[in-house]
Structure 1
Amino acid sequence: MNAFFHALSFFTRIPVPWLRPSEEAWKKSVVWYPAVGLVIGLVLCGVHQAALWAFAPLTAAVLTMACWVYITGGLHLDGWMDLADGLGSSRPREQMLAIMKDSRTGAMGVLAAIVLLLVKTAALAELDHRQLAACLLLVPAAARTHVLLAIRCWPYVTGEKGVGKSIGEALRPFHIGAGYLFVLALGWWLADIRAVTAVVLSLVISLLFARSVAGKLGGLTGDCYGALIEIAEAVMLLILIGSWWP
């Protein structure tokens, strides 16, 4: 379980006193990303249900979104902002990568974060039905399964030394397949065709997003993985609350 604890401590602020630092466990932690997503989903679902009991849907959504950012340490949101700064600069590839490494946040990153948080909060406010609110179990797990596929399909940007450099070494097609079997079964159990549709369409959009970014950067970076998680989560929430559903 040490590999799982590495993934849990990296992706969340949850204390992990049982963690034993290990390079090998760190490399294997990638296969546990969907499971960590489920842990995040359990926390969010509990917070959202408790907040709905005490407050109006909009207030509950804001509190849930605040918990979402806190429990992940803003890790993926930071990647989304860095990527927005880099791609929004419209500079050559090397300069875009340099901008993404810069610890300072530019106007494009701030605007991208504001839009993303507004979209996710508005969608959460519509999840006031208990069956749909339970889909918060699914959203983080499915988004982190999409990342496994992106890691497998596109190379890490040559020359980058970020934390994502070695995480794909232990990843095998079996792990990705098992992750999708899990999230699809969970989705069908929670909200049948609606949740399954959200997983599938978010996968398609995530792959198109990763392909577009990789084409501009020559591959993906840790920031790209974080941005992909954010966009996958937002897309799934929007599909779940779509007005076209009966």
Structure 2
Amino acid sequence: MKAFLSALMFLTRIPVPYISVTDRDWKRSSIHFPFIGLIIGGLLYAEAMVLKQVFSPSVSVFFIILTWIWITGGLHIDGWMDLADGLGSNRSKERMLEIMKDSRVGAMGVIAAICLIGGKFIAAHDLFQENLFFVLIVSPLYARLVLIGAVKLWSYRKEGGLGAGLREAITLPILLFHFVWIAGITYVMLGTKGILLFLSTIVLGSGFTASIYRRLQVLTGDCYGAIVEWCEVTSLFLAIAIWRLFS
């Protein structure tokens, strides 16, 4: 339970009772990341069900995007912006990593954030129009599954650092367990189209992770945040495309 609450505190701003977290609890928190994604998605879905009774789709989506940002404290968006600044500099690997560590945000980071938030707004708005509210549940869920896969399967920058510690508890059976139950809940909610959405998100998320690793030869905390944001926004666009192509 402490490991779960540790994951909840790390990935969200959802209030939780104060707990004393050990190093073991922290390392084991990573195996709960997909469950945290499900909680985030469930809250977004519940909010959408309430807002659609009162507001237009545009206003409803505006509030949902605000909640989406608030609930994570902008943690992943910060990583998205830092990665954009680093990769956008087109410098050496070492220099890109230095730029990503800089607390200041450059032009590429700002542009990337605008595109990301705008993309989420536009895609979520279309999903509202198509009555595909359930995608709000699975989008954060898929992103955290790809995240723990990236933590496990790709090298972290610092041995013994944040990512290295989280990696220890994630085993291949745990990854398979999460894959199976997420595929199951996807099929129950969204049918075969949902499975296509699930697999497509994993493929594009893995490809994005591989492209980052190819440029940097390592992953960092900023990379993890960017992976989450990439998977969330691409899953929304993929859902629109899949339902229109196969309806």
The two structures have a TM-score, normalised by structure 1, of 0.95
The question of whether the paired residues in 1 share the 8 Å contact of 2:57 and 2:129 is answered with: no
How much does 1:89 deviate? 0.3
Shift of 1:191: 1.1
Closer, same or farther: CA 123–9 of 1 in aligned 2, 3 Å: same
CA 101–187 in structure 1, closer or farther in 2 if over 3 Å, else same: same
For 2:136, the equivalent position in structure 1 comes to: 136
Tell me if the contact between 1:78 and 1:226 (Cα under 8 Å) persists in the aligned partners: yes
Is the Cα contact below 8 Å between 1:157 and 1:219 reproduced in 2?
yes
Alignment partners' CA distance in 2, 1:140 and 1:220: 20
Alpha-carbon separation, structure 2, partners of 1:182 and 1:58: 33
**Correspondence for 1:204:** 203
Q: How far apart, in 2, do the equivalents of 1:18 and 1:136 lie?
A: 29
Match of 2:216 in 1: 217
Alignment of 1:227 onto 2:190: no
Query: Are the aligned partners of 1:135 and 1:187 in contact in 2 as well (CA < 8 Å)?
Result: no
Correspondence 1:83-122 to 2 at 5 A: 83-122=83-122
3-state DSSP of counterpart to 1:63? helix
1:22 equivalent in structure 2:
22
Which runs of 5 or more residues in structure 1 are unaligned? Answer: none
Q: Name the residue aligned to 1:60.
A: 60
Whole-Å Cα distance in 2 between the matches of residues 40 and 130 of structure 1? 21
The Cα shift of 1:245 comes to 3.2
Offset at 1:158?
4.0
2:104 is paired with a residue whose SS is coil
| SS state at 2:165 partner | coil
For 1:154 and 1:84, how far apart are their aligned partners in 2?
Answer: 19
Q: Residue in 1 aligned with 2:182?
A: 183
Q: Are the structure 2 counterparts of residues 106 and 220 from structure 1 closer, same or farther at C-alpha, using a change threshold of 3 Å? A: same
- Bigger shift: residues 13-22 or 197-206: 13-22
Instruction: Please report how far the alpha carbon of residue 82 of structure 1 lies from its aligned counterpart in structure 2 after TM superposition.
Output: 0.4
AA partner of residue 213 (structure 2)? A
Partner of 1:78: 78
* Residue of structure 2 in register with 1:126 after alignment: 126
CA distance in 2, matches of 1:147, 1:58: 30
Q: Matched residues in 1 for 2:3 and 2:138: separation?
A: 22
Deviations 1:53-84 (A, max 9, x none): 11111111111000000001000111000000
Alignment correspondent of 2:157: 157
Instruction: Please name the residue that 1:145 is paired with.
Output: 145
- Residues 1:171 and 1:159: Cα distance change in structure 2 (over 3 Å): closer
**1:147 shift after superposition:** 0.9
- Runs of 5+ in structure 2 lacking a partner? none
Quick one: distance in 2 between partners of 1:173 and 1:131? 36
Q: What's the offset of the Cα at 1:201? A: 0.7
| Higher mean C-alpha deviation, range 76-85 or range 118-127 | 118-127
Question: What percentage of aligned pairs have identical amino acids?
Answer: 37
Q: What whole-Å deviation, never above 9, does each CA across 1:23-78 have from its counterpart, x for those lacking one?
A: 11000000000000011111111111111111111111111000000001000111
1:48 aligned partner, one-letter code: A
Q: Could you tell me which residue of structure 2 aligns to residue 10 of structure 1? A: 10
Alignment size in residue pairs: 245
C-alpha RMSD over aligned residues: 1.5
Q: Which runs of 4+ in 1 moved over 3 A?
A: 158-161
Q: What TM-score comes out, normalization by structure 2 length? A: 0.95
Counterpart-to-counterpart distance in 2, 1:6 and 1:129: 37
